[in-house]
C-alpha cells in the first residue's frame, strides 16, 4: 500500500539532489525495499521484522502515512498493521 507514495517521495528527493539519492535514482525504490524500509505484504513484513528482532532490534518506527496518500488509505494501513502485524509482534 505504501509503495507508490514512497516512490513519489524519493523521486522528489532525487529531483532535489538529496545526498544518497541523487539524480541517478532511476531504478525507483526497489533498492530501498529491503533496507532501510520494511515494506511489503503483512507476511513479508513480519519476516523482515522477525529478522531484525533476531539481530537485537527492540524498537521500530512506523510511518503509515506518506505524501499523496489519501486519509482513507492511511486508515486502511493502520487497520492492517493492527490486525495483521501487532498481534504477532507482541509475542516476540
- Residue-wise pLDDT tens digits, 33-57: 666 678 888 999 999 999 999 999 9
Higher-pLDDT residue of 12, 48? 48
Phi (first) and psi of residue 19, to 5 degrees: -55, 135
> What distance lies between CA 81 and its chain's CA centroid?
12
Total domains in the chain come to 1
Residue 47: count other Cβ atoms within 10 Å of its Cβ: 12
pTM: 0.71
Which among 80, 8, 67, 73 has a CA at the least distance from the CA of 41? Answer: 80
What is the Cα–Cα distance from 20 to 26, expressed in whole angstroms?
13
Domain span including residue 10 = 3-89
Which among 63, 58, 21 has a CA at the least distance from the CA of 38? Answer: 63
Amino acid at each position: 500500500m505504501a509503495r507508490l507514495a514512497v516512490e513519489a517521495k524519493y523521486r522528489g528527493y532525487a529531483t532535489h539532489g538529496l545526498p544518497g539519492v541523487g539524480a541517478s535514482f532511476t531504478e525507483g525504490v526497489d533498492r530501498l525495499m529491503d533496507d532501510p524500509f520494511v515494506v511489503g505484504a503483512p507476511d513479508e513484513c513480519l519476516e523482515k521484522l522477525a529478522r531484525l528482532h533476531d539481530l537485537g532490534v527492540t524498537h521500530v518506527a512506523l510511518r503509515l502515512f506518506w505524501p499523496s496518500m489519501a486519509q482513507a488509505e492511511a486508515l486502511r494501513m493502520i487497520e492492517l498493521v493492527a490486525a495483521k502485524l501487532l498481534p504477532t509482534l507482541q509475542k516476540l
